[in-house]
Amino acid sequence: MNNRTLLVALGGNAILQPKQEATFENQLANVTASCRILAKLIRMGYRLIITHGNGPQVGNILRQNEEARQVVPQMPLDVCSAESQGLIGYMIQQAMRNELELLGIDKSVVSIVTRVEVSSDDEAFRNPTKPIGAFYSEEEAQAFMQEKGWIMKEDANRGWRRVVPSPLPLHIIEADVIAKLLNEDQIVIACGGGGIPVVRKPDGTYRGIEAVIDKDHSACKLAQEIGADVLLILTDVDNVYIHYGRPGQRALTRVTPPELERFRREGHFSEGSMQPKIDAASRFADSGGTSIICSLHEADLALEGERGTLIMKAADHA
């Protein structure tokens, strides 16, 4: 038993595969397969916290809100994010408990609806860029901008979509509760979809805000606040690459944050997919932890140093 604390950030493919119909049955099957892999990490002795993306799910919840807006009052974005946390948390909680039962491991699994504090002064609120929800015609988009005050932008000639801010996380509000559950040997699912964005008011209370927080940034912040040993970012590629898909493609196996920053400046990482993972992994490594980016299906091998990309400070590599 190693008793090290591992924060696992599940990519969207762990819940819904590309071009796959978003039925509950399909998503539960994917989650079950993912939990079968994560259960191996419990058997290896790790204490586990699981976070996850929610892009397709919260997008579908928004679509349901929009389609039914004539008969059912629409919910704000922070509430839709909370709904997606419950939906995905339930699937992971049930699938993980079933897999542990099959392995003869007696551990409880609990989901925490998690709020994440952001700053209302974050630059993201002055320049919303994160597209969410359905596509609309220009006429529909103009109507939404007029009626609801939404910011709508054309998205790659496919139609108009709502765009919202994507601020950086400042603090995981339920971090102390998550840490207590972890210390009681619970497996915790938290910060789903990046967490529910809230801002602190002058009187010390919180209110939800219309925004979406990047899942990998929140995973890093949570890992720091609960003192995790390893941040394991699971995705659909086996390594971080430079010159990806081009001549000279090379997998990175061991790398430091300054090296990743140099590769970032050279333009090796896609802003919409790999870059947030790189940023989060580098930040956690800079704070003294170990970060790994790897394929979901090679998670156990990556923790043993046989697969994936390991990110640590230079001194820790020595």
* Catalytic residue ranges: 12-13, 130, 215, 277
In 3D space, the residue among 224, 300, 13, 210 whose CA is nearest the CA of residue 292 turns out to be 300
Give the integer Cα–Cα distance in Å for 248 and 250: 6
Of the candidates 232, 270, 305, 244, the one whose C-alpha atom is nearest the C-alpha of residue 6 is 232
CA nearest to 50, candidates 100, 2, 88, 99? 88
Question: What stretches of the chain show up as alpha helix (H) in DSSP?
Answer: 24-43, 55-67, 77-103, 138-148, 175-183, 215-225, 257-265, 274-286, 299-303, 314-317
User: What distance in Å separates the CA atoms of residue 53 and residue 67, rounded to the nearest whole number?
Assistant: 23
